[in-house]
Amino acid sequence: MSSRIVTALLIAALAAVPVRAQAPVAETVVGGPLGMPQVSAPIALLIDVNGGRVLFERQSHRRFVPASLTKIMTSYVAFELIKAGKLRLDQRFRMSPDAFRKWHRVGSTMFLAQDSETSVAELLEGIVTVSANDGCVVLAEGVTGSVPAFTELMNAEAKKLGMRDTHYNTPNGWMDEGETYVSAADLATLSTALVTRHPDLYARFYGHERLAFRGIEQPNHNPLYGYVAGADGVKTGFTNEAGYGLVGSAIRDGRRLMMVVGGYDNGKVRARESRDFMEWGFAAFEAHSLFAAGAQVGTARVQGGETRTVPLAAPHALALTLLRRAGARYSLTLRYKGPLRAPIAKGDQIASLIVRVPGQGETRLPLVAAVDVPEAGSLARLRNGLLAMLGQ
């Protein structure tokens, strides 16, 4: 198929002041009170989800041991299965004697009893809020029958998301001599998909500061909670092998930032620096709104479908991210490889919105199908053939 570039909708002018854009901020410091705080983590990444822009980057593609950051993918797999109708929140899974022997009171736990039955909703709450190692294993065995089969699902989803520097050998991130590894860039990709593909499930299970389960109350150790306004995720991680890591997310006035830090050797330093890091991202940059979540941005041609075009929509609020008080002229272009082939499912990412600031490269923002486009039936094939003969 040929590549078609459908040139876009508008050229917007905010101001004519040049700005630093596409390239990562790296180690540069923004002047004045909005200056970059100290971030001593060997691995660090901060992105603006709405604008698709990297605000800071340090070794974001370096592979490292994630510890409990693994559980983000465990929950993502469950969310995908729930969305597909293959898993229900009210299903109950049993703590097998073998799982109990291996995981009772090992690391962070929900204190599941042998042969106890726990709902998927309760397991997800425990996995996300208190990093329950036992809950991960019960979920994995309940969904697929075994831990290895569940990790196959985890790796399959990582491949779908383009996570090239990631491999999972366990659903809970317990030490496995480095067989489980990730990168900051991959964790940001995963966590962004978690939020944007499953906003309702994310809101239900993430962002809770405490878990009360079967008479035991435990805190969530996310250092952003209670300190950073709008913080709603994502996950902490710690083992002696991995050190202290964090994937953090916060949203203010519809603008979401996603942060990944890894390799700290001190939890208090991780807490202090991660809070300052997130606050800097909100203070030093601002978003210029492009499209609201769900807004139709354009259309794309479809081959072999019940309809000959599909509307393209913003999967979440899309924005241009710029240094605060700076402005720029920018242009927008729709790009997709087409014509697209049916069937197409609503929500599939099928195109990109290219945002260009003169002299500063481009940013790609995702666009999704706004509706389902099934394969053409006999009447639709006849109609499409006649229209093609007429050059339409």
Along the 392 residues of the chain, how does pLDDT read in single tens digits? Answer: 443 333 333 323 222 222 222 333 344 333 333 589 999 999 999 999 999 999 999 999 999 999 999 999 999 999 999 999 999 999 999 999 999 999 999 999 999 999 999 999 999 999 999 999 999 999 999 999 999 999 999 999 999 999 999 999 999 999 999 999 999 999 999 999 999 999 999 999 999 999 999 999 999 999 999 999 999 999 999 999 899 999 999 999 999 999 999 999 999 999 999 999 999 999 999 998 999 999 999 999 999 999 999 999 999 999 999 888 766 788 999 999 988 999 999 999 999 999 998 767 789 999 999 999 999 877 756 666 665 666 66
83 among known catalytic residues: no
pLDDT of residue 5: 37
289 among known catalytic residues: no
Domain 65-241, CATH among 3.40.50.2300, 3.40.190.10, 3.40.710.10, 3.40.50.300? 3.40.710.10
pLDDT of residue 33: 38
Q: In whole angstroms, what is the distance from residue 88 CA to residue 119 CA?
A: 9
- List alpha helices for the chain, DSSP H: 71-83, 97-103, 120-130, 133-144, 147-160, 184-197, 199-205, 267-284, 378-389
pLDDT of residue 392: 61
The token pair that represents 51 in the structure block: 């604008």
Q: In whole angstroms, what is the distance from residue 389 CA to residue 234 CA?
A: 53
Q: Which residue's entry shows tokens 């003969």?
A: 389
Question: Burial of 86 by CB count in 10 Å (0-12 exposed, 13-18 middle, 19+ buried)?
Answer: exposed
Q: In whole angstroms, what is the distance from residue 63 CA to residue 50 CA?
A: 26
pLDDT of residue 391: 61
Residues 71, 108, 191, 274: which is the catalytic one? 71
Q: Does domain 3-20+290-389 have CATH number 3.90.1150.10?
A: no
Residues 75, 108, 131, 274: which is the catalytic one? 131
Q: What are the domain boundaries of the chain?
A: 3-20+290-389, 65-241
68 among known catalytic residues: yes
